[in-house]
A = this chain, B = another copy of it.
Amino acid sequence: MTNSDRKAIGVFDSGVGGLTVLKALRRAMPHRDFLYLGDTARVPYGRKPPAMVREFAREITAFLELRGAEAIVVACNTATAVALPDLQREYKLPIWGVIDPGVEAAVRATKSGRVGVIGTKGTIRSAAYQKRLEALGMTVWARECPLFVHLVEEDLADSPEAELVARHYLADMPAIDTLILGCTHYPVLAPMLTRVLGPGIRLVESATVAAEYVRVTLGEDPRSPEGRITHFVTGDPIAYEHTAAVIGGVEGEIVALPITDLKCAVAV
């Protein structure tokens, strides 16, 4: 069997946040190959207009498919919120986002049916989480937390300013028992958030359930003893590795991918 026969699972995010999802996928399917794309030249997505993020997501999906992805995980809540239905309509390969898994994790965790969700401006304003949760009978509180991504990327996840900002964002939170970390960067903030919120509120994230969905559909690939990971980054590879250190580091090869090459993929 040649390398070109090996199909990989494509995973993408605006930057390093999706590495939390990649880690869960890898834990669930250690024999699978993964292509991760970190769009670090255009990070963050959270404040960008939805149409712009949709275009980025299209380019990346096309590129990953060209490079041999047999399925795609949109490991970015903002891109899932604004682009997933379009991607699923326009591409034939299976594509998962991280919002349905986050909703499922919350519904499994809550006892009271009162659930909160925090995320970027793009994610929260899309109301993607809120609509799904309400359709399932939940009472929902939602809040944009635009500084949280930067706190993580600045390695300030457990700093006094992180706590200060978190108390501000969560000041008007009503009585809930479950809080969805609706951005793939946020699991890094969990220890600080637990301190701010106390032990009575369960923090849930998408990564583990998302990895379950993919594993159930695609199954494991036992062809190689251990899968390979290739990271394509639109920004600088060295800067990527430096930022990724705050989120547990990078496993696998890092390849620089000029935006111009990415834009070509969608035209093929």
Contact = CB atoms under 8 A, between A and B. Distances in A.
Interface in A233-256: 234-236, 238-239, 242, 256
Contacts of A41: 40-41, 234-236, 239
A165 interface: yes
Contact of A260 (B42, B164, B238, B256): B256
Interface of A: 40-42, 46-49, 52, 146-147, 150-151, 154-156, 160-161, 164-165, 168-169, 234-236, 238-239, 242, 256, 258-260
Q: Please state the number of chain copies in the assembly.
A: 2
Contact of A154 (B146, B156, B160, B164): B146
B239 A48 contact: yes
A161 B167 CA distance: 10
A236 B147 contact: no
A98 B79 CA distance: 38
Nearest to A154: B146
Contacts of A40: 41
A238 B160 CA distance: 35
Contacts of A256: 259-260
Contacts of A259: 235-236, 256, 258
Given A236-B259, A238-B52, A161 B151 contact: no
Contacts of A161: 147, 165, 168-169
Pick the 9 closest A-B CB pairs, nearest first: A150-B150, A258-B258, A41-B235, A41-B41, A42-B236, A42-B239, A146-B154, A164-B168, A236-B259
B155 A151 contact: no
Given A41-B41, A52-B239, A234-B235, 4 more contacts: A47-B155, A52-B242, A160-B168, A235-B259
24 contacts: A41-B41, A41-B234, A41-B235, A42-B235, A42-B239, A52-B242, A146-B154, A146-B156, A147-B150, A147-B151, A147-B154, A147-B156, A147-B165, A150-B150, A150-B154, A160-B168, A161-B165, A164-B165, A164-B168, A165-B165, A234-B235, A234-B236, A235-B235, A258-B260
Contacts of A169: 161
A164 B150 CA distance: 16
Of the listed residues A41, A48, A156, A236, the one surrounded by the most CB atoms of chain B closer than 10 A to its CB is: A41
